[in-house]
A and B are shown apart, each in its own frame.
Chain A
Amino acid sequence: MFLVSEEFVASTHGSLGCITCHGGENAPDKAVAHTDMNPYPSRDYESTCSACHSDVTGDFDTAIHFNLNGMANGLSEYAGITSLSESPHHEEVFGNDCYKCHATCGDCHVSRPKNFSNGLVEQHTFQGTPSMENNCYACHNARNGGEFMGLVGFGSDVHFDAGMTCMDCHPVNNFHGTGEVPYDMWEVDLPSCTDCHTDKDPAVATDVEHKVHGDSLSCQVCHAQANNNCYECHLDEKADGSGLQSSSEMKIQFRVGYNPEPTEERPYKYVVLRHVPGQESMLEVVGENMMPNFDQKVNWNYSPSHNVQKSTFQNESCEACHTNTRIWLTEDDLRETDSEANKALIPALPPSLDH
């Protein structure tokens, strides 16, 4: 797992010497050699990577892969506070058990992320462009990454089938940051389908489907397949007491509802929804009433489903969607453990085609 290639040793990074980044001692005895050795030197990237790559790392503290702002702010909203810094207990829980998922330079460019599995991707050779299978999928496996590659749900994404990877759509600043601190991932300059499919932009589209629906539907409403939904997420102490672990029930579904938060970039009335992990008692293992604001925030969220196809069951015909009551979010989909706010997402049935 930690075999290093001769090619790496001879490379620019390799010529620095292991100890330059990892610490430890140049000694033949394993225990002595590993004294104070740091297996993850890029966690403190400013002391290591930044020495040469400050042009890349300069904005990394503003990247959500590093600061996990989306998760931190989501927890703050459930907790009814504006920032985790307002509640030392929430901040501690987040720091101990959530923040461990943040990415370091090495998690993408050298090894598999620690929380996925140990091991070097290419015997320590630095990958300028990370591996989709070993790096992106490692953290995004249960939803967008797994769906894109067809490992979760029913089928892969047409772009994956065409040989594309995450980095073909997501620009590098989605990972390295821009200097602006986003509130969550929706404030990141994410790619849009119409970046490439310019002729499908409702403003210029000439085909009837895109002209008629305009901005009322997100692309996924017609083109995504069923996605992975997590229910009853719960955190428990690990058996060895080293922290928390989560467990949840997963279900492949396809539900369309009202857009929880229309914005200028995503003004759609109807979007594909995804039930995200989270329920009011989720954090009871670390304290009581940790999420008093739970019912004010939806836990059926906008789903940027990454498993699109040109043809789907719901776009086979007008009736396949308009009269298909199975795809629309209803009261029956809401569980007792769900947020009350979800009720606002239940759409009126789509317009009849009889007129």
Chain B
Amino acid sequence: MSKPKVFNNWITSLVVVAVLGVAALGVYQFVIAPTLPEKQYSEVGGGEDKPFEFPSIDSSSCVACHTSEAVIAASDWGKDRPVAENTGG
């Protein structure tokens, strides 16, 4: 099979390869990429330099009681347990 005439000159060859490359990149960027699903990142970190996206659930009633010294002091939950117990460990 004979070689296309444009490849007879090395400069022309280079230009053709460059044009084809740019065209392929353009097709990927503007035609193929938009149809791909968004990449999923696992949620890690939460530090100041990392995004923190975790659903918050309204717990205002919990907070109202558990930040009240009077309410907690009146509760008997857990008071049957000693403050410190020798676990034998």
Question: What would 17 more interface pairs be, CB under 8 Å, given A20-B55, A20-B56?
Answer: A3-B69, A4-B63, A4-B67, A17-B58, A18-B59, A18-B62, A20-B59, A26-B62, A30-B65, A54-B44, A113-B87, A116-B87, A138-B84, A138-B87, A139-B89, A230-B88, A277-B88
Q: CB within 8 A of B54: which of A5, A51, A117?
A: A51
Q: Which A residues touch B78, using CB under 8 A?
A: 1-2, 118-119
Q: A3-B66, A115-B87 given as contacts; is B75 within 8 A of A26 (CB)?
A: no
Q: Which B residues touch A139, using CB under 8 A?
A: 87, 89
Q: Is A163 close to B, CB under 8 A?
A: no
Interface of B is mostly: loop
Q: Which A residues touch B64, using CB under 8 A?
A: 28
Best-surrounded residue of B52, B54, B89 (most CB of chain A within 10 A): B89
Q: Is A55 close to B, CB under 8 A?
A: yes
Q: Is A330 close to B, CB under 8 A?
A: no
Residues of B within 8 A of A (CB): 42-46, 52, 54-67, 69, 72, 75, 77-79, 81-89
* Minimum CB–CB distance for B45 against chain A, Å: 7
Are A116 and B85 in touch, CB under 8 angstroms? Answer: yes
19 A-B contact pairs sorted by A residue (CB < 8 Å): A2-B72, A2-B77, A9-B67, A12-B52, A16-B56, A16-B57, A17-B59, A19-B62, A20-B57, A20-B59, A28-B61, A33-B62, A51-B43, A54-B42, A116-B84, A117-B81, A117-B84, A138-B87, A141-B86
Give the nearest-CB partner of B83 in chain A: A117
Q: Is A158 close to B, CB under 8 A?
A: no
A277–B83 Cα distance when bound, in Å, is 24
A139–B86 Cα distance when bound, in Å, is 8
* Minimum CB–CB distance for A170 against chain B, Å: 16
* Minimum CB–CB distance for B68 against chain A, Å: 8
Q: Which A residues touch B56, using CB under 8 A?
A: 15-17, 20
Q: Which B residues touch A277, using CB under 8 A?
A: 88
Give the nearest-CB partner of A30 in chain B: B65
* Minimum CB–CB distance for B63 against chain A, Å: 5
Q: Is A255 close to B, CB under 8 A?
A: no
Q: Is A85 close to B, CB under 8 A?
A: no
Q: Which A residues touch B60, using CB under 8 A?
A: 26
Are B61 and A142 in touch, CB under 8 angstroms? Answer: no
Are A12 and B57 in touch, CB under 8 angstroms? Answer: no
Q: Which A residues touch B87, using CB under 8 A?
A: 101, 113, 115-116, 138-139, 141-142
